[in-house]
Amino acid sequence: MRILFLTHSFNSLTQRLFCELTRRGHQISIEFDIADSVSEEAVALFQPDLIVAPFLKRAIPESIWSRHLCLVVHPGSVGDRGPSALDWAIQQGVPEWGVTVLQAEAEMDAGPVWASANFPLRAARKASIYRNETTEAAVNAVLQAVDRVQAGNFTPARVPGQAHALMRQLDRRIDWQQQTTAEILAHLNAADGFPGVADELFGQPCHLFDAWPEATLKGAPGELLGRRETAILRGTADGAIWLGHAKRAGGIKLPATQAFPAALALPELPLPGWHKSATPTWQDIAYEEAGGVGFFSFEFYNGAMSTEQCRRLTAAFQWATAQPTRVIVLRGGSDFWSNGIHLNTIEAAESPADESWANINAIDDLAEAILRCETQLTVAALGGNAGAGGCFLARAADFVWVRDGVMLNPHYKNMGNLYGSEFWSYLLPPRVGVDGAQAIMRHRLPMTAPEAVKLGFYDACLPGPGFAVDVARRAAELAAAPDFSGRLAAKVEKRRADEAAKPLAVWREEELREMRRNFYGFDPSYHVARYHFVSRTANSWTPRHLARHRDLDWKTPT
């Protein structure tokens, strides 16, 4: 079918639906819901068989839904209606939630139901539920609905429902004196990534994000008790909670100590080393060992890796290479493996160009440490999405295993035509060929895990459920394999031969020469794109590579 997506943005859920439906042979074009007239024009040009709205912030105009079948993805269970669907469910701690695909009509979310899917609701951040459970359920429900539309013999049923109000900051408010850590966590999780909970730090208004429970440290309710790296610890009625990120009025979301430099004067509460803490606490880099394998998790908020985080992770990785293990697995974070350099900390720096330069060098140092590792085989295990430099950083490992369902965006073009680094020019051609490497870098669309493996970019796509267990088993097998020593020796040999043919330093310098031009040159595209990205500027047009009905050679079907 010809399916038009009307959507607020090309977010990860929309990307996933785009890939799944394209894979099934449907022709997809996309229009952002900027204005009714723009949507009407898209419908007139594309003449869709079906319209799907994966992520809408405005109602579809009657001029469209009265003439075309429009299916809206609502992030709530059957019968749930209105905005803030996930926010209410998380804040109230309901045990099960879901996704409903319903037909657009005059009343919001009240149309007949074409399909739905449910899931147990984890106590986690809204953005995490959205990128994982909601996305999986949406894929299942939309595919079922599309099949039903195509079959032509399904009659969608109307169901009675109950509408929620938009959740306001008043509903989200935290009472630091009275509420427990668990209650405060539910409030903060329900508002993360957007809009955060309005509160105060150091007497200044701000929005809070990125909360982590603390199991052992305690203090007076509401008091700021200390800091660890970039996070601040605050007392609750029954313990304490870590606040990782804050957004000051008129500012952008930043690591808490960067948003409030006054926090640097709080007492430091360091962890003793890289080993994973036995009890819940704030720990962005955590190391565990089992069966000759060292596992690193790096829970960097939104997968963004600042200069400091890259330096700490490089130090941790180098420490791990001196441990008596045979394999090191880089697990990344649960939602994102990595999205490359940290665009927010760059934006907030005194000189964004200098900070971009420092950040790209720090991430290249990490990639180089992984590439030069001679003591272990290395695995990048992508259980979460990856974008831009994060996709290429993963390729620095000897093996890349990716969870089926992960969305990859292995390109820099959308960030003001960045050339990119992380040794992509060295790493890609041997795996995908010179033309393949160029095609990946030119391509602006997302890639699924099976596509990445088919191209030769990554090595294995493992099923979604049980991914972590599967990775641990495969890594332990790698460590115990009779030919382990031979494999390690072969990798060291290959690296030395590559070094003799063209040193890593030269590959790096060639990439960084281009990046220097992006950061310091006459063309400000990267700085402009970064500003709009971190400010979350609303779209004012749909890029041509998404709006295929606006291609110059597009012929409106008759």
Phi, psi of 163 (to 5 degrees): -95, 135
| Residue 211 or 304 with smaller CB distance to ligand COA | 304
Is the Cβ–Cβ distance between 125 and 137 less than 8 Å?
no
| Rounded to 5°, angle at Cα 483 from 477 and 489 | 115
- Burial of residue 402, with CB atoms counted within 10 A of its CB: 0-12 exposed, 13-18 middle, 19 or more buried: buried
| Residue 15 or 116 with smaller CB distance to ligand COA | 15
Shortest spacing between CB 393 and ligand COA, in angstroms:
9
| Residue 60 or 388 with smaller CB distance to ligand COA | 388
Is the Cβ–Cβ distance between 285 and 294 less than 8 Å?
no
| Residue 97 or 301 with smaller CB distance to ligand COA | 301
| Residue 111 or 193 with smaller CB distance to ligand COA | 193
Is the Cβ–Cβ distance between 74 and 85 less than 8 Å?
yes
> What would the two tokens of residue 104 be?
């657009």
Shortest spacing between CB 235 and ligand COA, in angstroms:
26
Residue 328: other Cβ atoms inside 10 A: 26
Shortest spacing between CB 339 and ligand COA, in angstroms:
3
Which among 256, 259, 254 has a CA at the least distance from the CA of 233?
Answer: 256
Shortest spacing between CB 506 and ligand COA, in angstroms:
21
| Residue 12 or 325 with smaller CB distance to ligand COA | 12
User: Which residue has 């009240």 as its token pair?
Assistant: 110
| Residue 149 or 197 with smaller CB distance to ligand COA | 197
> What would the two tokens of residue 7 be?
């959507």
Kind of pairing between the strands at 27-32 and 50-53: unpaired
Shortest spacing between CB 464 and ligand COA, in angstroms:
17
Give the distance, in angstroms, between the CA of residue 294 and the centroid of all CA atoms in the same chain: 24
* Inter-helix orientation angle 85-92/181-190, to 10°: 170
| Residue 27 or 414 with smaller CB distance to ligand COA | 414
Which residues have C-beta within 8 Å of that of residue 273, sequence separation ≥ 6?
A: none
| Residue 105 or 210 with smaller CB distance to ligand COA | 210
Shortest spacing between CB 412 and ligand COA, in angstroms:
5
Is the Cβ–Cβ distance between 453 and 460 less than 8 Å?
yes
d(CA 277, CA 279): 5
| Residue 77 or 344 with smaller CB distance to ligand COA | 344
Shortest spacing between CB 508 and ligand COA, in angstroms:
15
Shortest spacing between CB 209 and ligand COA, in angstroms:
7
Is the Cβ–Cβ distance between 166 and 108 less than 8 Å?
no
Phi, psi of 476 (to 5 degrees): -65, -40
Concatenating the DSSP letter of every residue in 206-255 gives EEEEEEEEESS---STT-EEEEETTEEEEE-SSSEEEEEEEEETTS-EEE
Cis ω for the linkage preceding 161 (within 30 of 0): no
| Residue 167 or 269 with smaller CB distance to ligand COA | 167
| Residue 194 or 554 with smaller CB distance to ligand COA | 194
Shortest spacing between CB 462 and ligand COA, in angstroms:
21
Which residues have C-beta within 8 Å of that of residue 137, sequence separation ≥ 6?
A: 98, 99, 117, 118, 119
Shortest spacing between CB 40 and ligand COA, in angstroms:
26
| Residue 2 or 8 with smaller CB distance to ligand COA | 8
Is the Cβ–Cβ distance between 458 and 401 less than 8 Å?
yes
Query: First CA to last CA across the chain, in angstroms?
Result: 15
d(CA 440, CA 449): 14
Is the Cβ–Cβ distance between 499 and 506 less than 8 Å?
no
- Binding residues for ligand COA, rule: CB under 6 A, are 11-12, 193-194, 253, 302-304, 339-344, 385, 387-389, 409, 412, 414-415, 418
Which residues have C-beta within 8 Å of that of residue 110, sequence separation ≥ 6?
A: 81, 102, 161
Shortest spacing between CB 422 and ligand COA, in angstroms:
7
Shortest spacing between CB 15 and ligand COA, in angstroms:
7
Strand partners for 201: 204
| Residue 502 or 544 with smaller CB distance to ligand COA | 544
Shortest spacing between CB 342 and ligand COA, in angstroms:
5
User: Which residue has 């459920």 as its token pair?
Assistant: 465
Give the distance, in angstroms, between the CA of residue 385 and the centroid of all CA atoms in the same chain: 5
Is the Cβ–Cβ distance between 169 and 197 less than 8 Å?
yes
Shortest spacing between CB 341 and ligand COA, in angstroms:
5
